[in-house]
Structure 1
Amino acid sequence: MASQDSILILGIGNLLWADEGFGVRCVEALNAAWALPANVTVLDGGTQGLYLLPFVTEARHLLVFDAVDYGLPPGTMKRVEGDEVPQFLGAKKMSLHQTGFQEVLASARMLDRFPESLLLIGVQPVELEDFGGSLRPEVAAQVPEAVAIALSWLRARGVEPVLRKHREVSRSALALAAYEDGRPAEQDACRIGDVRFFPEAN
């Protein structure tokens, strides 16, 4: 059973497909700049799907960052709360992780262990078909605002985030700085798929 004050902040998505990485970049930015108390878990959920169910069922409050097809202009950010969240995650299948997370929420409800409050902070992607690409400028520009919304949401639940004196630096090869520095230019690497499977040019 979830503890009375347990909070999960979850970023889902795939860093390897451009704007699909929005959710993960949000939790990365949040964790780098802000220290949070022990009852708050900040988690890179990647594309784990149903593997995230134990984390969700232990949370009293859940906030999700994700790239979502709202049918809005690219780069638009929108917040959705409560029972409306699953319909946006499953409205249009953009990737495997979205269907998987919709199933996570459905499973949590079936187990009668659905979070008491749920907030989705989503951004309309600009580009997904760019393997190895990074967030497009319109989407990257929304990360600070998404983090600011999360901070306000936490404060409304009695959590006071503390600004770190020194930013946490991730040593992962997929951390934003390392990822950008190590990414080859478009002319040096195919970023729309595996070139071995392309039809030969005439």
Structure 2
Amino acid sequence: MSRDETLILGIGNTLLTDEGAGIHALNHLQSQYPDIPNLNFIDGGTLSFTLAVWIEDCTNLIVFDATELHQPPGTVNVFVGAEMDNFLGTTKRSAHEVGLIDLMDIARLTEHLPEQRALIGIQPDKMVWGMKPTAAVQNALDEAVTEAVKLIQQWQKVNTDQEVSTT
């Protein structure tokens, strides 16, 4: 993966209904927008330290995850840059938060933190055995994907403008 690519990372467990929201959002983005250039899609499952290499190697990072937002089920919140860092540093809000914050800390310590980064969190309704998300989360996928596309377009424009100004 080249440094100008955007890494789209979906995390979650698709065997536990809404816990798989991040993976469902990743798949939804990939199927709805297959022609956006310079995207790299990774199903991060329930996270692993092996993902640190991917995070360190990108300029732009978008993470989809089921996140405890203390909002109605299906609410989508976007945390960009320092907002993402601060959100991950607060009390436990995601089943994967410890792993995600650890991965971000590794990137920070190695001075490879993605320049542009965002967490798109979806408030789960239920996390019980089942491979389909609840209606609230299913209905939130379009909004989550729309937010991701806005960020991708904004970041690709910034990266293109920087390339033009340096030539």
Task: Identify the match of residue 142 of structure 2 among 126, 141, 144.
Answer: 144
CA RMSD of aligned residues (A): 1.9
* TM-superposed deviation, 1:13: 0.7
Other-structure match for 1:196: none
Q: Is the 8 A contact 2:11 2:22 kept in 1?
A: yes
Q: Does 1:153 align with 2:151?
A: yes
Q: Does 1:41 align with 2:13?
A: no
Per-residue CA distance 1:123-148 (angstroms, 9 max, x = gap): 111111x1225211111101011111
Q: Does 1:92 align with 2:89?
A: no
Q: Is the 8 A contact 1:19 1:127 kept in 2?
A: yes
Other-structure match for 2:6: 7
Q: How many residues align?
A: 156
What letter matches 1:154 in structure 2? I
For the residue of structure 2 that corresponds to 1:120, the secondary structure is: strand
Q: Is the 8 A contact 2:69 2:93 kept in 1?
A: no
* TM-superposed deviation, 1:98: 2.5
The runs of 5 or more residues in structure 2 that have no matched partner are 158-167
Other-structure match for 2:162: none
The percentage of counterpart residues that share the same residue type is: 34
For the residue of structure 2 that corresponds to 1:108, the secondary structure is: helix
Distance 2:137 2:111 in 1: 35
Q: What is the TM-score of this pair, normalised by structure 1?
A: 0.70
Rg comparison, structure with higher value: 1
Q: What is the TM-score of this pair, normalised by structure 2?
A: 0.84
What letter matches 1:53 in structure 2? A
The runs of 5 or more residues in structure 1 that have no matched partner are 160-202
Question: Where does 1:45-84 land on structure 2 (aligned, <5 Å)?
Answer: 45-84=44-83
Per-residue CA distance 1:129-181 (angstroms, 9 max, x = gap): x122521111110101111111121111237xxxxxxxxxxxxxxxxxxxxxx
